[in-house]
Structure 1
Amino acid sequence: MLSFIPFPALPTPPSWFPGHMNRFTKQLPALLSRTDVVLELRDARLPLTSINHNLERAIRKWRAERGRDASMITPPSASPTGPAIPGYGSAICERIVVLNKHDLVPEWGVEPFRKTMAARFPDQIVHFASCNKPRDIKTLSELLVNIAKTSPHATEMNVLVVGMPNVGKSTLLNSLRSRGIAGRTAKALQTSAQPGHTRTLSTRLKISENPLIYSYDSPGVMLPFLGRGEQGAERGVKLALIAGIKESLYDVEALVNYLLYRLNILDPVSPAYLKVLPEGSEPTTDVYVFLEQLAARLGMRVRGGDVDTARAAIWFVEWWRREGSLISASAPRSIGRRNPRVSQGDPPGCLDDATHYSLPIRRGWGFDFEWTVDAASSDSESKGNVEEKMGACIDTYMRMMEVQEELGGGVSQTQEKKRAWEEKLAKRKARLSRKNV
């Protein structure tokens, strides 16, 4: 078992904000004016990192314009179907946060996370879903239908789907349409494993006939700038791992280094990557040792017989997206258990049935939550304790984002220079127009 898991060195985050993202961001206020429900998708593995704070500001303004102050709203039920009524005000104005790819996070953290979010964000209905789980789609469809029925005099309800790139917006809408429309329905929206496939706002898509509900699919919008320092670097690597950012912008070895760190945090006793290493391998924090072992296990070699660690790195990231996430989602809440790969004769450094570390141990849920537990008490870590630790993580993250915004963390130096130049040109144009009058 790993008693110390060092944080890896990470590269400076790249900037990836194509023109279609900028255009949609400018269109968003006008779109919200004819929207009844905002359906925001996030990746369940990154419930905080996949928040787009530019969209947050636009949504807060939309709700304020409709008289939906968050302080006036009754907190939603802990039930996945949410509140029975749409809240304050006569017009429908709801926000549903869908944590997609529900099956890729450990189940033991779902309910504590839902309760933590309900306590801190009463204006949001949190729903966990996986597009390949019919029950999840059915529950979400019923939630939308129930909201539409709270306004019986409205002829239709319009839903706008927003979120970061590659969180599954188009796939979810196709699933909702198949659920809400009787008979066989053709695939209405094209999907892709690569980010940025949807580049324009879709035409209205009917997802329910009774009541009548329409939806728009929108382009995935990345943050114009991921932030400065370690926080910005970590945010970029996380989004690259879920294919939210173009892979070509990152060295794959940096992704493997961070992925190794996170899998060790999720399960320091028997991390998921042991499944693909040679028999008898131990957990490691050394990315070079790991890649050499993996390349040897896979038989990946370059001319001359040396192991091909570059090809092994690419294979590992793809394996994690395809299979490893499911394996890591089975990580138990308690960690005081024996590593099945450790023999009785192994020296200290591996946890057995009778031995516990006296040092604190880092634990986590998904890739956004990490906390310290005492090894001696890790077996009995309760749901209430997990909820408290998740709440502390959320509070810390939100404070960090507020500080970054105050310091201009949402804008890079290049963007600051561009804005200053645009302002200078605007002033020059205004002076020339006054002279010509």
Structure 2
Amino acid sequence: MPYSDGDLALRVEGLGKRYRLGEREPYLALRDVISRAVRRPGRRRADPDASFWALRDVSFEVPSGEALAIVGRNGAGKSTLLKILSRITEPTEGQAVVAGRVGALLEVGTGFHPELTGRENVALNGAILGMRRHEIGAKFDDIVDFAGVARFVDTPVKRYSSGMRARLAFAVAAFLDTDILVVDEVLAVGDAEFQKKCLGTMGDAARGGRTVLFVSHNMTAVESLCQRAVWLDGGRVVADGPALEVVGQYLSTSFSQLGEQMWADVGSAPGNDGVRIRRAAVRPESGAPSDPIDVRTPLALEFEYWNLRPGAQLNLSLHVYNAQGVMVFNALPYQEKVWQGRPFPQGLYRDTCHVPGDLLNDGTYRIDLMVVEGNRAIYRHDEILVFEVRDDPGSRDGWFGSWEGAVRPALAWETEQLAGDAALETALD
């Protein structure tokens, strides 16, 4: 819907960004600008095949006080868009009109000088945003308290851990008085407690009337924080609308089904000099990998692999994620009775993990495989399997709303009456 200029925090019109492949974006001095303006006759034109459009014809508007998510696969153009909105880079075509000051957290320690202390970097970032010294001082204690770096605030940030830099960078962006808060996927570097604090702070900012732009692969966070989402793919806007609808469209088309993979040749199979994968499959316990799976279906997760080193003690570790990026469970063969703890002779092996029915919720799942020896992963294969678990309408008893939760177990449940009407009337008297 169209908005009046006074209601808008952002207006993006026909935005495009082109990069020259194999070249860094140059820093231009005045002489470079002048020389570019005076083109020499006969100059060879740039090869159009040597350029790449990270964004093309992107248009949308964001009213003040809205929390907007930008979703899409890696390489879709999300970070490029945020860098243009944060005035870090210039667009090749189109325009982005930003009303107000922008606090951006696009990389860990964005805008930090490594030789300056935490205190000095907070002051520097505030000055860059156009704030006065007394305004920065009024927020300083909140920033340090949120970041949890009070003991180290007078230490150069080059000595901070990545987590400390992330906490301080987010606190600076969140607590200094900006009209628009821009946050990229950098929250992934923090621990669970830090991520929870950040999401809570962004939610408070949005409810307080600030505009929030949020990029994340965690669709649960997107749906809980943002009312609206823009889906980018290949640098273009695919969908723009309510967050729940856009996220649903994105998830339904962003995962290709990969229920079985086979590599017959040990020489070209994925792996290394210790182990190579021959086959991976997910199937119903009594069926084939091509058979449908619903929430009631018991599953067999099968992995065949060559052990190439005699005497190796191997374990497989399966990380199972739902479409929102939440790890549903991590499976290890610690209850396996035959080979657990024994050295493996060279040869071909098969591990089967049995997953009971009535455990997984409906949706798309991916499995990351790790081959572990001792406490060390010697090989990792991400998204080795991707599969869909369908709903079973018969188990809903006529109710078709969203079934919340990462899992959906069928748990034993009893209801019994402890007293009748007479006891209730007595209790009410």
Q: TM-score, normalised by structure 1?
A: 0.31
Q: Which has the higher strand share?
A: 2
Higher relative contact order at CA 8 Å, sep ≥6: structure 1 or structure 2? 1
Q: Which has the larger radius of gyration?
A: 2
